[in-house]
Structure 1
Amino acid sequence: MAPSTPSGAAWPPHAARTVAWRQSGRHGTRADRMLREVTVSIPPMIAELDYTPPIGLAPALAEAAREVIAVDADPRGQIGALGGLLLRTESVSSSKIERIDASLEDYARAVAGIRSNESASSMVAATRALAQMIDRAGQAGRVHLDDILTAHRTLMADDRMDGHYAGRLRDVQNWIGGSDHSPIGAVHIPPPPETVPAYLDDLVAFANRDDLDPVAQAAIAHAQFESIHPFTDGNGRIGRALINAILRRRGLTRRTVVPVASAMLAERDRYFALVNGYREGRVDAFVADLARGTRIAAMEARRSADRLAELPAQWRELSRPRAGSAAAALLGRLAEHPIVTAEEAQELTGAPLSSVYTALDRLEADGIIHQVTARQRNRVWGVDDILAELDELAARIGAAVRATDR
């Protein structure tokens, strides 16, 4: 029989172990260089642990699930556009939690493959990694370790510092906070590297269970992943992707993503504190917070769905393109392709390139799109309303999260 945690009971807290430590070089202060042992955190194995939420938390979990399902079941034709918007919102907010930020202009250029700043490129890599991980969970009906490693490889492949660790579990001791040169003063020192494979096998088994509330399961899996910290970098972004991968595997979503990272970003310090609380066995608080964030994010996503449904008609009224023209054909596809090159526009419309350029110039003059590259060749355009909605959605989620704390 699987161990269980009765309603409202504490989740098993992390244990501690003292292990030997030695710097690979001689860096930092004398204290950094002289450190010879550290106390690491030893999470519980959770694959067979049961979690029964407190009676007062069950309605919040059910409401969060209902809101997620409602967004994904939207019958209107813009579901592809909504899915793309929510995917970008989630990956951008998840990156911002890690202090990785870029302007929408830089992000749009990076999406189009135009060399941009390092942060924008990292945000695009996060978007691709998130999409890969969620899609694979949906296709396979399971979370596989190989898919987590593949997503991490996509995220970190071009990273200047940790690119050589892309797609690989760490074989070194890492830590969170404190000194850059040793674990002195660290907020959290994860388990030793030789334990990571077993911990991840255990976590994947937990993530693939079907007998737990899906939102609670996603919350616990995320907190456990962050506690294991299996990579040298990129743990936060992959760990938050795991939330949506579990929601997809459990069938709450089929075509969309829940931008829960926007809720976490709104109260970043609270989010980190709750993860730390999980390590002390306070699981209910983290589950409750994710349920709240999930519900709010899904509700605001429905407002974005309403907005997206209105945009094509508004664009047609504003531009009044001739029926059958390249501009008319392109207007019908912009919501799903908010960042577009002339070549992509030609593929979408089937029109000659000369007609496509004429259409793009017209739509820019009408204020529907704008060029995000200052060049005559390899130009890229962004759809103003869609890019603005990306920022506005995250801002609305953040405002709603903060309002619930008043």
Structure 2
Amino acid sequence: MTHSSGIYVISTTLGEPVRAFVPHPLPPAGSALEPALFADLNRQAELALARLSGVSGLVPSVDWLLYSAIRKEALLTSQIEGTQATLTDLFDEEAGFKVSNTDDVEEVTNYLRAFRWVQAQLRDPKGLPISVRLLCEAHRLLLDGARGAGKQPGELRRSQNWIGGTRPGNAAFVPPPPEHVPGLLADMERFIHATSTGLAPMIKVAIIHAQFETIHPFLDGNGRIGRLLIAALFEHWGLLSEPLMYLSGYLKQHQSEYYRRLSAIRSDGDWGAWVAFFLEGVAQAANAAEQNIIQVASLVTSDRRHLLQSPKAGPASYRLFEMLPMMPRFTIERVRQQLDTSFPTATAAVKVLEDLGIVIEMTGQKKNRSYSYQGYVDLLSR
């Protein structure tokens, strides 16, 4: 049976025959992606990204912004898959505090590792390009640990998988049989590196993400690797100079529409509605990230002014303050190590910030105290 975006083939799995969907190679055929249809949405998304890049100059260090943006993306992409960890859990884990849902936090930190590794490869002239190998290695890092052990980390699936339903026969969607996967991914890789497709880069990112999710090449982690691929393509085509946007926030907010739009490509060949949804998402996510940067910049500026006006402040408390955006939860021992100073000096520096109300003590104990740059944590957790 033919279909506008692919064909169905009969695949037998767990002893029952099912209709598995095999997508056509990219680009989509026909006039569904006529550039004129998306010119306005594409321009709005590009403008939003340009403004986001511009506003990052408001803070002294773009590393601050990246610290929180990358963690928010890691958290939100994991939450789409049902992970319960919060941003505070992530900060606490980094501070060495006890967290209750360690498996969930491990999943998020694995995503962070995979993301950083992919970014390093793409920025290294000798690194891997965007390729099946790159995605497999990212998958291996993502599924490293307790939950991923039986899910063939780093390997393309060798069995039929399905999405939704309790068995392949009542599934919402059955991806291509495993023998089709390597060829489909090779086609996708060719499309990524093709020089003339006549499509704007952001539209290409949208269709590549959809194609990846349709191929569903791994036993687990396809959603997260597919969204990591979006970030990698933004880097590859220079759409945003630094990964300051967390698109997964928009996708999580509109999760049922996200899945419905992807599904309509397979059922009706409706590429247009998916691309429009994606471009609107980029514009909204870039605008949200821009607003967040403005709020962070004004909070930090006002707290810094407060500190500089204090007669008790000195070099150690100034240095500690500048570290807070990348160390929002901490102990005095951690401050001592970071400032490379004595325990009394570290204690005094923390006390200056606590007395000014910039940081708060969280335990209420006399010993083993923990601190938080709470205004900042609250701002990022919104």
Q: Which TM-score tier does this pair reach, normalised by the shorter chain?
A: 0.7 to 0.9
Alignment equivalent of 2:223, drawn from 220, 225, 236: 236
Aligned residues: 368
Query: Deviation string for 1:227-261 (max 9, x for gaps)?
Result: 11111111111111111111111111222232111
Q: Which residue of 1 aligns with 2:180?
A: 195
Residue identity opposite 2:168 in structure 1 = P
| More displaced stretch, 194-203 vs 135-144 | 135-144
Which residue does 1:43 correspond to in 2?
A: 23
Q: Specify the code of the residue in structure 1 equivalent to 2:238.
A: G
Among 47, 51, 54, the residue aligned to 1:66:
47
Return 263-272 or 41-50, whichever deviates more.
Answer: 41-50
Letter in 1 for 2:114: A
Cα 1:72–1:347 change in 2 (3 A) is farther
CA distance in 2, matches of 1:46, 1:260: 23
1:13·1:279 contact (CA, 8 Å) conserved in 2? yes
1:354 and 2:344 correspond: yes
Matched residue of 1:232: which SS?
coil
Most deviating of 231-240 and 95-104: 95-104
- Change beyond 3 A, Cα 1:323–1:372: closer
Separation in structure 1 between the aligned mates of residue 225 and residue 264 of structure 2, nearest angstrom: 20
In 2: Cα distance, 1:375 partner to 1:166 partner? 43
Question: Offset at 1:151?
Answer: 1.8
Show structure 1 runs of 5+ residues with no match.
Answer: 1-10, 23-34, 393-406
Compare 371-380 and 198-207 and name the one that shifted more. 371-380
Where 1:56 maps in the other structure, the secondary structure is helix
User: Over residues 31-64 of structure 1, what are the superposed CA-to-partner deviations in whole Å (9 max), with x where a residue is unaligned?
Assistant: xxxx422211111122697984452321111220
Structure 2 partner of 1:7: none
| Residue of structure 2 in register with 1:106 after alignment | 89
- Shift in alpha-carbon separation, 1:259–1:161, aligned structure 2, 3 A: closer
Distance 1:257 1:59 in 2: 23
Q: Secondary structure at the match of 1:40?
A: strand
* TM norm structure 1: 0.81
Equivalent pair of 2:25/2:187 in contact (CA under 8 Å): yes
Contact 1:68 1:295 in 2 (8 A): yes
Instruction: State the 1:161 CA deviation.
Output: 5.1
**Candidates 305, 318, 329, aligned match of 1:328:** 318
Contact 1:338 1:386 in 2 (8 A): yes
Change (3 A) 1:90 1:104: closer
Q: Which residue of structure 2 aligns with residue 402 of structure 1?
A: none
What do the CA deviations read for 1:114-165 (whole angstroms, capped 9, x no partner)?
A: 5531222212222332333234334459313232222212211114354552
Q: Deviations along 1:286-310, whole A, 9 cap, x unmatched?
A: 1111111110111121112212222
Cα distance in 1 for partners of 2:303, 2:34 equals: 47
Please identify, of 289-298 and 70-79, the stretch whose mean Cα deviation from structure 2 is larger.
70-79
Which of 314, 317, 327 is 1:337 aligned to?
327
Residue from 78, 81, 96 that aligns with 2:61: 78
Residue 272 (structure 2) aligns with: 284
| TM-superposed deviation, 1:326 | 1.6
Whole-angstrom distance in 2 between the partners of 1:36 and 1:285: 33
CA distance in 2, matches of 1:235, 1:375: 44
CA distance in 2, matches of 1:44, 1:374: 61
Give aligned-pair identity as a percent. 28
Q: Give the whole-Å Cα distance in 2 for the aligned partners of 1:81 and 1:128.
A: 18
Residue in structure 1 matched with residue 107 of structure 2 by the alignment: 122
Instruction: Say whether the 8 Å CA contact 1:321–1:327 is kept in structure 2.
Output: no
More deviation, 223-232/198-207 = 198-207
Cα distance change, pair 188–162 in 1 and its aligned pair in 2 (3 A): farther
Aligned to 2:236: 249
Q: Which amino acid aligns with 1:75?
A: G
1:25-40 paired onto structure 2 within 5 Å: 35-40=15-20
Which of 19, 37, 51 lines up with 1:56 in the alignment?
37
Which region of structure 1 is more displaced relative to structure 2, 78-87 or 104-113? 104-113
How far apart, CA to CA, are the structure 1 residues paired with 2:366 and 2:135? 40
1:203·1:221 contact (CA, 8 Å) conserved in 2? Answer: yes
Q: 1:266 to 1:153 in 2, by over 3 A?
A: same
SS state of the match for residue 18, structure 2? strand
Shift of 1:355: 1.9
**Matched AA of 1:36:** E
Give the aligned partner of residue 11 of structure 2: 19
Matching residue of 1:403? none
One of 251, 254, 259 as aligned partner of 1:267 = 254
The alpha-carbon distance between structure 1 residues 80 and 195, as it changes in their structure 2 partners (threshold 3 A), is same
Equivalent position amino acid for 2:143 in 1: M
Which residue pairs with 1:87 in the alignment?
70
CA distance in 1, matches of 2:61, 2:109: 22
Q: CA deviation at 1:172?
A: 1.7
Aligned-residue CA RMSD (Å): 2.9
- Describe the SS at the equivalent of 1:55: helix
C-alpha change, 1:134 and 1:232, in structure 2 (3 Å) is same
Q: Pick closer, same or farther for the CA change 1:257–1:163 going to 2, 3 Å.
A: farther
* Corresponding residue SS for 2:169: coil
2:131 is equivalent to residue 151 of structure 1: no
Equivalents in 2 of 1:305, 1:159: separation in Å?
35
Residues 284-323 of structure 1 aligned to structure 2 (within 5 Å): 284-319=272-307, 320=310, 322=312
Letter in 2 for 1:43: P
